[in-house]
Structure 1
Amino acid sequence: MKLAHDVAGDGAALVLLHAGVCDRRMWDGQRPALIDAGYRVVRCDLRGFGATPAADRPYNDADDVLALLDDLGIAQAAFVGASFGGHVALEIAARRPERVGALALLCAAMPGHEPSAELTALGEREEALLEEGDLDGATELMVESWLGPEAGEPARESVRLMQRHAFELQCAAEEFEKIEHEVDLAAVQAPCLAVSGAHDLADFRRIAARLPEILVDAEHVELPWAGHLPALERPSAVAELLIEFLRKTVPVG
């Protein structure tokens, strides 16, 4: 299965990987600025999100993204990953370090992270609502849990739309296990910007703070205004942050 995707711009390849409550539309606020900055921007929907159907067999998200890049003839790219998209980007960078020129991780999940009681409880509440068939309730739980205090109604409605669509795709399909690969984060060679939000769940703040201790070249920046989805909460500020990092690590010409 080829992931639904779009490609625009010229220059160094830049792959945007969405959060697990969103799809590739979450990058609408950054995509034009990144293209104008000289990057060839690739966005994709992971399986069961956006325009990509749910899985029809066991699969691995990192393998799917790598297959897409092979189809596009992209040997190496910079990656921007939000939340679960950050997990996927880290897995790619660890398993195939030659494919990754730089990493910008926004409130990323991390392979091997043991979830806190708070995060586990949130997942259990979500699952209970879905088992009851209450997609509206599960959607609102995600909107309330993952957006920070500065998120306006447009951001909330955007998450609501993307998450509800993902629930509909996933709940209507047979569930298949994901293929797990061994991931050694010490193998990551790309320079990394690890961003956390001061209003995010503690798990993701801890991950971002730990990454400079694990990776060979990483810096941590905490955004005092942000929740879990800063790209939606302050789109222009995140675009500027990404371009500043990318210009230092991935020259465009």
Structure 2
Amino acid sequence: MVLLHSGVCDRRMWDPQWTALAAAGYRVIRPDLRGFGLSPVADRPYSDADDVAELLRTLGVGRAALAGSSYGGRVALELAASRPELVTALALLCPAVPGQVPGPELRSFAGQEDALLAAGDVEGAVELNVETFLGPEAGDETRGRVRAMQRRAFEVQLAATEEFPQTRPEADLARITAPCLAVSGAHDLPDFREIAARLPERLPQARHVELPWAGHLPSLERPAEVTELLLDFLRVTAPSARANISH
């Protein structure tokens, strides 16, 4: 079971889920993508999807279920499309998607974030992300956790002296064979709600669930509820064989 974090967070966003998944019998792997958490920025051209595939190879994992939040959902889709034989199931929480064209709300957010960072207002950019991507269920503790993860990402990425491009693998979603759960949040930006709602039109074994209480990061907003949602999906699509935890 591979947990792929959002672009607002890092591997720590899965703290509420990973022990429960391991206790249910899954070997759980939750990496920091390049430039997030404890992973440095890239020192050469790279692909997040290829990085995940290489991590699985290094760990001796032949096939895995993937859970991806937001940007992590895009990485999961890219991996499942480019190497469908590696992926047994996809659980996508408010995912981005390859080839996404941002709508007006997402473009407005990106413009505000760029302006704040250009002005050196990192804390302002952090708060913009917290306010944009957390729904009404998020309490002070959750907001603080997201604040810390986003601040860490800015620190790592802004300190880089050179930026290397990411190469994207071929992402023909029609090649995906794994069953997919696509989750959206009723309080999320329209882009992500639309992506999740339309995935059943693009993937042969996908179903969509919208959470009426959720923003963009439901696994942090109602952790226990989302953990059960993931486990219910996995019990049917990717039953566990044994319990083991990998950091």
Q: 2:16 aligns with which of 16, 22, 29?
A: 29
1:237 aligns with 2:220: no
> 1:161-184 deviations in whole A, cap 9, x for unaligned?
000010000001022211123210
Query: Which residue matches 1:153?
Result: 140
How far apart, CA to CA, are the structure 2 residues paired with 1:154 and 1:96? 38
Q: Distance in 2 between matches of 1:250 and 1:63?
A: 22
Distance 2:231 2:104 in 1: 36
Q: How many residues align?
A: 240
Q: What is the rounded CA distance, in whole Å, between the counterparts of 2:198 and 2:184 in structure 1?
A: 11
| Paired letter, 1:104 | A
Show the counterpart of 2:157.
170
Q: Which residue of 1 aligns with 2:245?
A: none
Q: Determine whether 1:69 maps to 2:56.
A: yes
> Match for 1:17: what amino acid?
L
Matched, 1:119 2:106: yes
Q: Quote the Cα distance in structure 1 between the aligned partners of 2:13 and 2:168.
A: 26
Aligned pairs (5 A) from 1:26-105: 26-105=13-92
Post-superposition offset of 1:148: 0.1
Are 2:179 and 1:195 equivalent residues in the alignment?
Answer: no
Residue 200 of structure 1 and its aligned partner are, at CA, apart by 0.3
Distance across 1 between alignment mates of 2:116 and 2:218: 26
Q: Distance in 2 between matches of 1:124 and 1:176?
A: 22
Bigger drift between 71-80 and 168-177 goes to 168-177
TM-score normalised by length of structure 1: 0.94
- CA deviations on 1:48-67 (whole Å, 9 max, x unpaired) are 00000011121110011111
Where does structure 1 lack aligned partners over 5 or more consecutive residues? 1-13
TM-score of the aligned structures, taking structure 2 as reference length: 0.96
Residue 16 of structure 2 aligns to a residue whose secondary structure is coil
Could you tell me which runs of 5 or more consecutive residues in structure 2 were left unpaired when the two chains were aligned. 242-247
Q: 2:22 and 2:57 mapped to 1: Cα distance?
A: 21
Could you tell me which residue of structure 1 aligns to residue 244 of structure 2? none
Letter paired with 1:72? L
SS at match of 2:30: strand
**How far does residue 121 in structure 1 lie from its aligned partner after superposition?**
1.3
RMSD: 0.7
* Alpha-carbon shift at residue 247 of structure 1 (Å): 0.1
Cα deviation digits, residues 94-142 of structure 1 (max 9, x gap): 0000000000000000001211011011111111111111110000000
Counterpart residue type for residue 136 of structure 2? P
DSSP 3-state at the match of 2:168: coil
CA distance in 2, matches of 1:31, 1:164: 23
Q: Which amino acid aligns with 2:206?
A: A
Letter in 2 for 1:203: D
Q: Which is bigger in relative contact order (C-alpha 8 A, separation at least 6)?
A: 2
Helix, strand or coil at the partner of 1:29? helix
Distance 1:247 1:56 in 2: 39
Give the percent of matched residue pairs that are identical in Structure 1 and Structure 2. Answer: 65
Deviations 1:199-240 (A, max 9, x none): 000000000011000001000000000000001000100100
Q: Does 1:205 align with 2:193?
A: yes
Where has structure 1 moved over 2 Å in runs of 4 or more? none
